[in-house]
Amino acid sequence: MSNATNISPAKSRVEMRCQDAAERITNFKEVALGYSLEEAVSEAKRCIQCKKPRCVGGCPVEVPIPQFIAAIAEGNLDEAFRIIKSTNSLPAICGRVCPQEHQCEGQCVLNAKQNPVAIGRLERFVADHFIALDACGQMGEITCRLTDPNVKVACIGGGPSSITVAGYLAARGVKVTVFEALHEMGGVLVYGIPEFRLPKQGVVHKELNALTELGVEFKTNCVGGKTIRISDLFEQGYKAVFVGVGAGLPKFFGVPGENFNGVLSANEYLTRINLGRGYDFPNYDTPAYRGRNVTVFGAGNVAMDAARWALRLGAESVRIVYRRTKAEMPARKEELEHAEEEGVILTELVAPMEFHGDDKGNLKGVTLQVMELGEPDASGRRSPKPVEGKTTYLDTDLAVIALGTKANRVLLEETPELKLNKYGYIEVNEENETAIPNVFAGGDIVTGAATVILAMGAGRTAAKVIAKRIGVIED
Amino acid sequence: MPSKILHKKELIPGRTSLMVLDAPEIAAAAKPGNFVMLRVDEKGERFPLTIADTDKKNGTISIVFLVMGKSTAVLNSMKAGDSIADLCGPLGRATHIEKVGTVVCVGGGTGIAAMHHIAKGHHEAGNHVVAVIGARSADLLLFREELQSFCPEVLIATDDGSVGEKGLVTEVLAKRLTGDKNVKEVVAIGPVPMMNAVVKTVDPFGIKTTVSLNSMMVDGIGMCGACRVSVGGKTRFTCVDGPEFDGSQVDFAELTQRLASLKAQEKTSYDQYTCRCQSHE
């Protein structure tokens, strides 16, 4: 790494290489290819090392950003990794799926020239370097004295928020058990986010393995509220419980014909493909739905993921159908750009009125209500309203509904002591503690569907409080 | 967490088997009406099976399955001592059981096994349980002795008349309901056409029929909606709102269509498996 000094700072943000669009829709491999050492060092040298860095304030898990970037600029990747890992258990994942444009990079002072430091890409570069060495646990070693082995903490749900709690506490010598309902750890990282954005074997499993090396115990096939109840966990000697069960229940439109075969939630579509490895059917047993003319309803990141999978599974046409316009789409710009490059068609200002099926109940088309934009609503986005009497018809044999989710009630129904807000999500105080003492919650089950990094931030907040409660010395 | 098969019994050779699985946590929490999700091996598909019995003392549950496709065929190729990759439960809402008087439990085919657990629950709650079971012939009739061990009445219908009445369970059921005002509830578990027919048979008697649905599921915990079913004109999720519903409100035609939605892929998977099995023999 000694030649890092010979690399000059990049003049503007260094682009990350990607698989070519025509090529990548014929495979399931990761689209973005990451930085080389030279690219990373030259990008790192663009950072002006602000005295009062705003980027850190934009990061829900408070990664010491200027410090790790300075280490990269010096070619000291060990140090860069140690700094990142001091607050972030899952850097290879965050470097890939965080909406940095709204967080760290959104706060970067170079943003004034639309040229923020590519913090996410740098984080990914550092994490990937250690993943390639199969050493992502190496820097996460226990930094505190071991606490009493009887002081143990349980996390219900195996997604980003719980994993963060586990990582934080395990690094401080606390015994943590994570209970996951599905057969594989990771939550949305595994069932929701596609292989081509976040490789499972190559990235997710490796970051989880690092936690296993720290002593975190993962128990799959354990449903909170069904297999185990919160009260059981306290009886078993757990001193605190973190609930990070995710949002869950998919929303549907409630229009006629929605139960025809071929109309499915994005959760079903993606879970079959991602968790079930349905893209590799029949080598794997879980079949994926394959459509010829696919319509995806919704315009968030999940909709983009579904549309891009449909292309990779051989669809002739894939359309994102949205009731507003491109400008209002909630998906990350990068995801939308990738989808369009790959050939996804955007159909704006329409909403489904009725799905139509053949005599066997299989979807064949959809009638759409034409919409127009009205006044801005509470969220500041111009709200769509129907153009009276104007409809269109679209042939489609697979409709994926990506409208978001509601609170999954499985754990909540079995735990009536948890207080819920008016949307059915768990109510917590500023320390992320629920109405039950020593039971904390975070992630989508508190906020409703949000991002991986916000869930991780919530987990970190709760973990700090739990650490104090159970008597772990703070560093 | 893999789960070990402690005991296997082929109830109908090559077609239907019973397995006793080591599952202490599930056994401790399971109630009649609950189901489990299974994944046979590392490349397997998750699928639901209703729990046929639990033994809380020994920490086991029993499952009974019909070989219908690749997953159940692979499961049936396993023997005592083998382990299945994943077992998750108990899932779904448990059967609502209270002491009401007489409850008639109707079971058809493999559904008799699932019905058995519910019948046992009603019996333990102090209800007079009448079991009505049916199959094509005597040798295909499951759980007859188990039911006879605690049900004061076990009525049988077979297509060929080899045991019990010759005919359908609905005929036996109608006869049994006629003139008995003490029957407070009918529970029906079996193939969709059978459950639909039971609902139609019971309706004129003004008695509630509870059915347990076998919708397709992916996760089994309310995440995906693959199992959605129309009940009273509203979409419900079988996995978290059911699996039991008021039969008179269920859209059975839609359920039948939805169960066929991946038929072609299921056939591909099964054909490839059986073909590979044969070439290895």
What length does chain A have?
A: 475
Are residues A10 and A45 in contact, defined by beta-carbon separation less than 8 angstroms? yes
Structure tokens at B27: 């056994």
Are residues A120 and A100 in contact, defined by beta-carbon separation less than 8 angstroms? yes
Domain limits, chain A: 2-139, 144-248+406-469, 263-401
Q: Does A286 touch chain B (CB under 8 A)?
A: yes
Flag whether pLDDT at A11 surpasses 60.
Answer: yes
The Cβ-side half-sphere exposure at A299, using a 13 Å CA radius, reads: 22
The conformational region for residue A208 under phi > 0 = left, psi -120 to 50 = alpha, else beta, is alpha
Q: How confident is the model at residue A368 (pLDDT cuts 50, 70, 90)?
A: very high
Q: Does B262 touch chain A (CB under 8 A)?
A: yes
Structure tokens at A470: 């159970």
ipTM of the complex, rounded to two decimals: 0.94
Q: How confident is the model at residue A136 (pLDDT cuts 50, 70, 90)?
A: low
Flag whether pLDDT at A1 surpasses 60.
Answer: no
List all residues 6 or more positions away from B277 whose beta carbon is below 8 Å from its beta carbon.
B77
Q: Does B226 touch chain A (CB under 8 A)?
A: yes
Residues in A closer than 8 angstroms to B84, CB to CB, are none
CA dist., res. A220 & res. A158, Å (int): 8
Q: How confident is the model at residue A2 (pLDDT cuts 50, 70, 90)?
A: low
Q: Which CATH class is domain A144-248+406-469?
A: alpha beta
Q: Are the Cβ atoms of B265 and A287 closer than 8 angstroms?
A: yes
- Phi, psi angles (nearest 5°) of residue A348: -95, 160
Query: Does the domain at residues B3-91 carry the CATH identifier 2.40.30.10?
Result: yes
Q: Which helix or strand (DSSP H or E) is residue B280 part of?
A: helix B263-280
**Fold identical between A144-248+406-469 and A263-401?**
yes
Q: Does B216 touch chain A (CB under 8 A)?
A: no
Residues in B closer than 8 angstroms to A219, CB to CB, are 1
CA of A218: which chain B residue's CA is closest? B1
Q: Does A283 touch chain B (CB under 8 A)?
A: yes
Q: How confident is the model at residue A4 (pLDDT cuts 50, 70, 90)?
A: confident
Are residues B105 and B119 in contact, defined by beta-carbon separation less than 8 angstroms? yes
Structure tokens at B147: 């039911």
β-bridge partners, A382: A376
pLDDT in the model for residue A143: 53
Are residues A183 and B47 in contact, defined by beta-carbon separation less than 8 angstroms? no
If contacts are CB pairs under 8 Å, which of residues 75-104 in chain B contact chain A?
85-91
CA dist., res. A271 & res. A407, Å (int): 18
Mutate to test the interface with A, among B61, B86, B224 (most CBs of A within 10 A): B224
Q: Does A3 touch chain B (CB under 8 A)?
A: no
What length does chain B have?
A: 281
Flag whether pLDDT at A335 surpasses 70.
Answer: yes
- Phi, psi angles (nearest 5°) of residue B141: -90, 120
Q: How confident is the model at residue A146 (pLDDT cuts 50, 70, 90)?
A: low
pLDDT in the model for residue B11: 94
For chain B, where do the domains classified as CATH 3.40.50.80 start and end?
Answer: 102-259
Q: Which CATH class is domain B102-259?
A: alpha beta
Q: Are the Cβ atoms of B269 and A249 closer than 8 angstroms?
A: no
Q: Which helix or strand (DSSP H or E) is residue B132 part of?
A: strand B128-135
Each residue's pLDDT tens digit, A241-293: 999 999 889 999 999 999 999 999 999 999 999 999 999 999 999 999 999 99
pLDDT in the model for residue B132: 97
Q: Does A271 touch chain B (CB under 8 A)?
A: yes
Residues in A closer than 8 angstroms to B91, CB to CB, are 223, 226
Q: Does A415 touch chain B (CB under 8 A)?
A: no
Q: How confident is the model at residue A204 (pLDDT cuts 50, 70, 90)?
A: very high
Each residue's pLDDT tens digit, A292-308: 999 999 999 999 999 99
Q: Are the Cβ atoms of B86 and A289 closer than 8 angstroms?
A: no
Structure tokens at A291: 């459509």
Q: Are the Cβ atoms of A221 and B1 closer than 8 angstroms?
A: yes
Percent of residues, chain A, with pLDDT higher than 90: 86
Average pLDDT, chain A: 93
CA of B217: which chain A residue's CA is closest? A268
Flag whether pLDDT at A329 surpasses 80.
Answer: yes
Q: Which CATH class is domain A263-401?
A: alpha beta
Average pLDDT, chain B: 95
A358 vs A139 pLDDT, higher one? A358
If contacts are CB pairs under 8 Å, which of residues 9-38 in chain B contact chain A?
25-26, 29
Nearest to A281 among B85, B89, B265 (CB): B265
CA distance B191 to chain A (A): 19
Nearest to B88 among A221, A276, A287 (CB): A221
pLDDT in the model for residue A377: 81
Nearest to B45 among A258, A286, A289 (CB): A286
Inter-helix orientation angle B192-202/B252-259, to 10°: 180
Are residues A179 and A155 in contact, defined by beta-carbon separation less than 8 angstroms? yes
Q: Could you identify the residue written with the tokens 């993962």?
A: A218
CA distance A337 to chain B (A): 27
pLDDT in the model for residue A272: 97
Are residues A187 and A180 in contact, defined by beta-carbon separation less than 8 angstroms? yes
- Phi, psi angles (nearest 5°) of residue B92: 80, 165
Are residues A149 and A127 in contact, defined by beta-carbon separation less than 8 angstroms? no
Q: Could you identify the residue written with the tokens 């003490």?
A: B182
Of A295, A304, A298, A303, residue with least CA distance to A324: A298
Cα-Cα end-to-end distance for chain A: 30
Residues in A closer than 8 angstroms to B223, CB to CB, are 191, 248-250, 267, 271, 408
Each residue's pLDDT tens digit, A424-437: 999 999 999 999 99
Torsion of CA A142, A147, A149, A153, to 10 degrees: -80
Structure tokens at A322: 């949205």
CA of B1: which chain A residue's CA is closest? A220
Report the relative pairing of strands B228-231 and B234-237 from DSSP bridges.
Answer: antiparallel
Structure tokens at A285: 């047993």
The Cβ-side half-sphere exposure at A144, using a 13 Å CA radius, reads: 18
A39 vs B264 pLDDT, higher one? A39
The C-alpha angle B226, B228, B229, rounded to 5 degrees, equals 145
What is residue B92's three-state secondary structure? coil
Residues in B closer than 8 angstroms to A268, CB to CB, are 218, 224-226
CA dist., res. A321 & res. A304, Å (int): 11
CA distance A281 to chain B (A): 8
- Using CA atoms, how far residue A139 sits from A88, A136, A143, A413, A463, in Å, is 11, 7, 10, 40, 19
Query: Does the domain at residues A2-139 carry the CATH identifier 1.10.1060.10?
Result: yes
Flag whether pLDDT at A144 surpasses 90.
Answer: no
Q: Could you identify the residue written with the tokens 């759409």?
A: A368
Are residues A419 and A427 in contact, defined by beta-carbon separation less than 8 angstroms? yes
User: What 3 state SS string does chain A have?
Assistant: CHHHHHCCCCCCCCCCEECCHHHHCCCCCCCEEECCHHHHHHHHCCCCCCCCCHHHHCCCCCCCHHHHHHHHHCCCHHHHHHHHHCCCCCHHHHHHHCCHHHCHHHHCHHHHHCCCCCHHHHHHHHHHHHHHCCCCCHHHCCCCCCCCCCCEEEEECCCHHHHHHHHHHHCCCCEEEEECCCCCCCCHHHHCCCCCCCCHHHHHHHHHHHHHHCCCEEECCCCECCCECHHHHHHCCEEEEEECCCCCCECCCCCCCCCCECEEEHHHHHHHHHCCCHHHCCCCCCCCCCCCEEEEECCCHHHHHHHHHHHHCCCCEEEEECCCCHHHCCCCHHHHHHHHHHCCEEECCEEEEEEEECCCCEEEEEEEEEEEEEEECCCCCEEEEEEEEEEEEEECCEEEECCCECCCCHHHHHCCCCCECCCCCECCCCCCECCCCCEEECCHHHHCCCCHHHHHHHHHHHHHHHHHHCCCCCC
DSSP B238: H
Cα A277 off chain centre by: 18
Flag whether pLDDT at A379 surpasses 80.
Answer: no
Structure tokens at A223: 């449903």
Q: Could you identify the residue written with the tokens 């972030």?
A: A88
Per-residue pLDDT, averaged over B90-113, amounts to 96
CA distance B57 to chain A (A): 17
Q: Does A410 touch chain B (CB under 8 A)?
A: yes
Q: Does B272 touch chain A (CB under 8 A)?
A: yes
DSSP B226: T
Least confident of A117-131, A390-404, A443-457, B233-247: A443-457
CA quadruple A206, A208, A212, A215: dihedral positive or negative? Answer: positive
Residues in A closer than 8 angstroms to B86, CB to CB, are 183, 220-221
Are residues A219 and A259 in contact, defined by beta-carbon separation less than 8 angstroms? no
β-bridge partners, B166: B158
Nearest to B223 among A248, A258, A284 (CB): A248
What is residue B3's three-state secondary structure? strand
CA dist., res. A456 & res. A462, Å (int): 10
Report the relative pairing of strands B153-158 and B128-135 from DSSP bridges.
Answer: parallel
Of A461, A454, A452, residue with least CA distance to A93: A452
